[in-house]
Amino acid sequence: MQFIKGHGTANDFVILPDPAGALPLTPALVAALCDRRRGIGADGVLRVVRAANHPDAVRHAERAEWFMDYWNADGTYAEMCGNGVRVFARYLDSMGVTGDADGLAVATRAGVVRAVVGPDAIAVDMGRPRIYDTSTATVGGLTVPGVAVDCGNPHLVCALPGALDLGGLDLTRSPGFDPAVFPAGVNVEFVAPAEPVNGADLHVAMRVYERGSAETLSCGSGACAVATVALRDAGRDAGVVAVDVLGGRLTITLDGDSCWLAGPAVLVAHGEVDPGTL
């Protein structure tokens, strides 16, 4: 089985080219590939399938040739992965698939998104995230209020109380959350304000515990959720938010129905893996 390894701000993925949708991908195989000691190691798998060849994407085949079949490291799959789309676009671009004047259309389980590929950064319009509820997360015995945000996948954005240090949070285990609000689980972001930076209206830092992948060094859809809540709390509905994640910086631009997620995306390795050895 051929693979490529890539990452976006250290949110890392095993990319599996499978235009025909013929690979016998199972939750167990995905988890084995993502295992950081016995496998290749990654936060998730991006299977590259022609939209026409996958039942979850065939309805998008007229608008997008390629489907990002995204799986979390534990073998579950998710509707959306913002950094995944950026790395997926980097891979397609490296194969000569460049899209048109509007960018590169990518089908996901949450619909079709468009990526604009640059030499360093790749930006993807994720569509406007939707704030829909409030809830709480518990971490280290502390209950923190948060805001539920739909980015195609579910997020709970929690502003850290002033006295607490983002770096001191114990995210070795899943934060507690309310399953009545998030019946399919949730990605939990903890946010703290950061010093102003040039080129951004707001600057925040976040850590994330991802559904299906534990703590990761970056989450693109999570950064979009965080930026949406930060702008709302600042009384704005448009603007640029710099979001520092443990793996670098993402820049989120909200305007009208668009939410552009921008940052670096790189391919670092390619090779072959025998699933029988995993």
Ligand X SMILES: N[C@@H](CCC[C@H](N)C(=O)O)C(=O)O
Binding residue for ligand X, selected from 210, 259, 260, 264, defined by CB under 6 A = 210
List the catalytic residue out of 158, 219, 224, 259: 219
- CB nearer to ligand X: pick between 41 and 164: 41
**Residue 215 assigned to a binding site:** no
Closest by CA position to 171, among listed 142, 229, 214 = 214
Binding residue for ligand X, selected from 221, 228, 251, 253, defined by CB under 6 A = 221
**Residue 168 assigned to a binding site:** no
Helices (H), the chain: 27-34, 82-94, 220-233
**Residue 53 assigned to a binding site:** no
Stretch of 82-90, 95-103, 140-148, 198-206 lying at the interface with ligand X (CB under 6 A): 82-90
Residue 82 lies near ligand X (rule: CB under 6 A): yes
Other beta carbons within 10 Å of 7: 23
CB of 47 to ligand X, least distance (A): 14
Contacts of ligand X in 164-203 (CB under 6 A): 187
Sign of torsion over alpha carbons 219, 107, 129, 80: negative
Residue 251 lies near ligand X (rule: CB under 6 A): no
Residue 127 lies near ligand X (rule: CB under 6 A): no
Residue 135 lies near ligand X (rule: CB under 6 A): no
Between the CA atoms of 129, 225, 211 and 81, what dihedral angle is there, to the nearest 10 degrees?
60
Rg (CA), the chain: 18
Give the whole-angstrom CA distance, residue 116 versus residue 4: 21
**Residue 47 assigned to a binding site:** no
List the catalytic residue out of 34, 81, 224, 259: 81
In our burial notation (b when 16+ CB lie closer than 10 A, e otherwise), range 88-105 reads bbbbbbeeeeebeeebbb
CB of 126 to ligand X, least distance (A): 8
Q: Is 81 a catalytic residue?
A: yes
**Ramachandran bin of 103, using left for φ above 0, alpha for ψ from -120 to 50, beta for the remaining angles:** left
Residue 72 lies near ligand X (rule: CB under 6 A): yes
**Residue 189 assigned to a binding site:** no
- Number of chain positions touching ligand X (CB under 6 A): 17
Tokens for 245, please give them.
């994640």
**Residue 109 assigned to a binding site:** no
Give the whole-angstrom CA distance, residue 115 versus residue 122: 7
Which residues of this chain interact with ligand X, rule CB under 6 A?
Answer: 11, 72, 78, 81-84, 153, 187, 210-213, 216, 219-221
Q: List residues with catalytic annotation.
A: 81, 219
